[in-house]
Structure 1
Amino acid sequence: MQINIEGTMVYITRIEHFNAAHKLFNPNWSKEQNEAVFGKCANENWHGHNFNLHVTLKGEPDADTGFVFDAKKLSSIIKEHVIDVVDHKNLNIDVPFMKDKICSIENLIIGIWNQLAPHLPATATLHALKLYETDRIFVEYFGE
């Protein structure tokens, strides 16, 4: 039995994990103002998270493979352009795409989008990123 997939939009999500340290602070503010706004996250000795990154592509399944995009290839692209750059790093110091930015999860997800988007195939569109900083805090970004 052949399933008609033409014109069918499917979303596929790959989840990757990384560990990283950072601190939240605005270099234009005093130590006291940073602590008042960012609390413990402004700790001068940094703090770390176990991040989970969800990368969602959308597209039509390929007639020959049934794939929107090969999940193993997607994992390799994420690893090369994001995970290898951020894993076990200090996001404020070691990650070029976070240079001169306040290291919030919101700015981080925008930076990750900009790292990934140019390396994805034309056959699948980067639809959304979801980044979990903790079990209770996450951010979503749709490239807007």
Structure 2
Amino acid sequence: MPKIRVTKRFHFEMAHALYQYDGVCRNIHGHSYKLEVTLKGEPLNRPGHPKDGMVMDFGELKNMVKENVVSRFDHVMMVNRLVPEEQVAMLKKISERIFVVDFQPTTENIATFIAEILKQQLPEEIELFSIRLYETATSFAEWFAADNAE
């Protein structure tokens, strides 16, 4: 059976600040992120089965990404763990959704983080092929499984 790639798009709103960055992005600001998740696998070959011909039901993919990524990232303020605790405490006074991560929250690192989350959720027979994360309409980062083979 041929290998097929399927892609679903998502979006979420998120703020971040780049710790000790040497430009304006060191300040709190937000983006309307667009996320594309591409899977690779063999379509199910079971005539008569309701999911015959599918790599993964788009509804199942939608639910998986919404539960594990979108619901966690949407309308949060993402900051690096290196931000001093007193600053994070101040942020928590004005927002309920502070997401402290172990990395600089660049689009590149967020895309990698999303890939790691989703790889854990997929059935064995389906591969995460790529993640494309748009920070703006003209800027995005891509993660490809082939570039990150272990």
**TM-score, length-normalised on structure 1?**
0.81
Aligned counterparts of 2:99 and 2:117: Cα–Cα separation in 1: 11
Q: Deviations over 1:14-43 (max 9, x none)?
A: 1011000001123xxxxxxx3xx2x11111
- What number of residue pairs does the alignment pair up? 124
1:99-138 superposed matches below 5 A:
99-138=101-140
From 44, 49, 55, the equivalent of 1:62 is 44
Identity of aligned residues (%): 35
Q: Could you tell me which residue of structure 1 aligns to residue 82 of structure 2? A: none
Are 2:4 and 1:22 aligned?
no
Aligned AA (1:116): L
Which ranges of structure 2 fall in alignment gaps of 5 or more residues?
Answer: 47-51, 80-87, 89-97
Q: Could you tell me which residue of structure 2 aligns to residue 76 of structure 1? A: 63
Aligned AA (1:42): R
Aligned counterparts of 1:127 and 1:100: Cα–Cα separation in 2: 24
From 26, 47, 51, the equivalent of 1:42 is 26
Aligned counterparts of 1:67 and 1:125: Cα–Cα separation in 2: 14
Q: Could you tell me which residue of structure 2 aligns to residue 85 of structure 1? A: 72
More strand by share: 2
Aligned counterparts of 2:42 and 2:129: Cα–Cα separation in 1: 13
Aligned counterparts of 1:114 and 1:122: Cα–Cα separation in 2: 15
Q: Does the residue aligned with 1:41 lie in a helix, a strand or coil?
A: helix
Aligned counterparts of 2:124 and 2:4: Cα–Cα separation in 1: 15
Counterpart contact for 1:68–1:123, Cα < 8 Å: no
More helix by share: 1
Which ranges of structure 1 fall in alignment gaps of 5 or more residues?
Answer: 1-5, 27-33
Q: Give 1:95 deviation, angstroms.
A: 2.6
Q: Does the residue aligned with 2:33 lie in a helix, a strand or coil?
A: strand
Q: Could you tell me which residue of structure 1 aligns to residue 99 of structure 2? A: 95
Q: Does the residue aligned with 2:69 lie in a helix, a strand or coil?
A: helix
Aligned counterparts of 2:42 and 2:136: Cα–Cα separation in 1: 33
**TM-score, length-normalised on structure 2?**
0.78
Aligned counterparts of 1:91 and 1:120: Cα–Cα separation in 2: 25
What is the Cα-based RMSD across aligned positions, in Å?
Answer: 1.3
Runs of 4+ residues over 6 Å off in structure 1: none
